[in-house]
């Protein structure tokens, strides 16, 4: 299925999919409280830290991927099975829900992001606790190695003129002007600043048309056929750039899951500040 669906499509197919609420706030607000206050009818609450992340060393980042078995157990507990189609949303336009969409699609499951998220939903919303769905069978599948990049691979690609490493964080964090959560400020040397929010139409909060997104990635130095790696603070909002690339008809990009939180936790990894020109 398409990686994006709009509210009209979801309204017409509501009984055919599992809707998931994947909100998260870097400022410490409770996403469960936000869900309880208002969510799409029947939506399942997915916890980023509990359901979409696993344990790891500091250099694995703040939100390492869970083991395939742990991810399968979480999905099954939430009532999401092998044959279910999932539509995920948040209230930021995809900065968190894109992580679940990427995880599901990377392992061969049908999933899409609700374009525009909760603010784009024109119908009624519900309040209250998550629904009690019966457990489902969700088979553990390995994370595809071709879709992931290690720190060493990212370092080599960022230093190459024939690859693109894209930093999805806001520009001030990329430039090292501020760093609210991670050990050091700055970015991976050689990476280009590619804030994920720039994929969205500011008037609607929805993803820009495919041709506009393709032009954006070209302006960032991405060339056809070259390796591309996306990262952010902890491997979450970078998935929104991967969603945008697929929306643009571009494929083959990898995710550096540890992202800046993992990179900056390693004192042997260099940090750059300021702006860098995208490679020609």
Question: Could you tell me the mean pLDDT of each successive run of 10 residues in the chain, 280 residues long?
Answer: 96 96 95 98 97 98 98 98 98 97 97 98 96 96 97 96 95 96 96 97 97 96 91 98 96 96 97 75
Q: How far apart are CA 196 and CA 232, in angstroms?
A: 9
279 is a domain residue: no
278 is a domain residue: no
Catalytic annotation present for 239? no
229 DSSP 8-state letter: E
Provide the number of structural domains found in the chain: 2
- Find the domain containing 212 and state its range: 145-264
What CATH number did the domain enclosing 247 receive?
3.40.250.10
280 is a domain residue: no
CA 240: distance to chain centroid? 5
* Whether 188 and 232 share a structural domain: yes
138 is a domain residue: no
* Whether 113 and 163 share a structural domain: no
271 is a domain residue: no
3-state secondary structure of 87: strand
Q: How far apart are CA 144 and CA 127, in angstroms?
A: 37
* Whether 182 and 216 share a structural domain: yes
Strand (E) positions, 70-209? Answer: 86-89, 111-114, 164-167, 192-193
pLDDT at 159: 94
- Active-site residue among 232, 238, 243, 265? 232
135 is a domain residue: no
The model's pTM? 0.95
* Whether 170 and 100 share a structural domain: no
* Whether 99 and 36 share a structural domain: yes
CA 159: distance to chain centroid? 24
* Whether 113 and 156 share a structural domain: no
pLDDT at 280: 41
* Whether 149 and 105 share a structural domain: no
* Whether 12 and 89 share a structural domain: yes
* Whether 155 and 246 share a structural domain: yes
Q: How far apart are CA 146 and CA 36, in angstroms?
A: 38
Strand (E) positions, the chain? Answer: 4-5, 18-21, 44-45, 86-89, 111-114, 164-167, 192-193, 228-231, 254-255
pLDDT at 278: 46
pLDDT at 251: 86
275 is a domain residue: no
* Whether 237 and 178 share a structural domain: yes
pLDDT at 279: 43
140 is a domain residue: no
* Whether 152 and 113 share a structural domain: no
Residue 89 pairs in a beta bridge with 21
pLDDT at 277: 61
* Whether 179 and 97 share a structural domain: no
């Amino acid at each position: 299925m398409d990686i994006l669906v709009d509210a009209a499509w979801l309204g017409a197919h509501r009984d055919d999919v599992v809707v998931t609420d994947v909100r998260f706030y870097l400022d410490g607000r409770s996403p469960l409280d936000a869900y309880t206050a208002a969510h799409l009818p029947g939506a399942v609450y997915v916890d980023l830290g509990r359901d979409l992340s696993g344990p790891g060393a500091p250099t694995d980042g703040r939100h390492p991927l869970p083991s395939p078995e742990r991810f399968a157990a979480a999905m099954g507990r939430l009532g999401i099975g092998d044959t279910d189609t999932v539509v995920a949303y948040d209230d930021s336009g995809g900065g968190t829900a894109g992580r679940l969409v990427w995880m599901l699609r990377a392992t061969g499951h049908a999933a899409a992001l609700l374009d525009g998220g909760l603010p784009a939903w024109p119908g009624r919303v519900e309040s209250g606790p998550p629904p009690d769905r019966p457990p489902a069978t969700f088979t553990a599948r390995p994370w595809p190695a071709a879709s992931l990049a290690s720190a060493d691979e990212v370092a080599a690609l960022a230093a190459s003129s024939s690859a693109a490493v894209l930093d999805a964080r806001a520009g001030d964090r990329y430039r090292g002007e501020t760093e609210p959560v991670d050990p050091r400020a700055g970015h991976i040397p050689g990476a280009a600043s590619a804030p994920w929010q720039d994929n969205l139409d500011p008037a609607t909060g929805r993803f820009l048309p495919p041709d506009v997104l393709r032009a954006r990635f070209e302006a960032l130095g991405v060339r056809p056929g070259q390796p591309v790696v996306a990262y952010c603070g902890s491997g979450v909002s970078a998935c929104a750039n991967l969603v945008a690339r697929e929306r643009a008809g571009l494929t083959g990009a990898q995710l550096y899951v540890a992202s800046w939180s993992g990179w900056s936790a390693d004192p042997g990894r260099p940090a750059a500040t300021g702006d860098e020109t995208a490679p020609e």
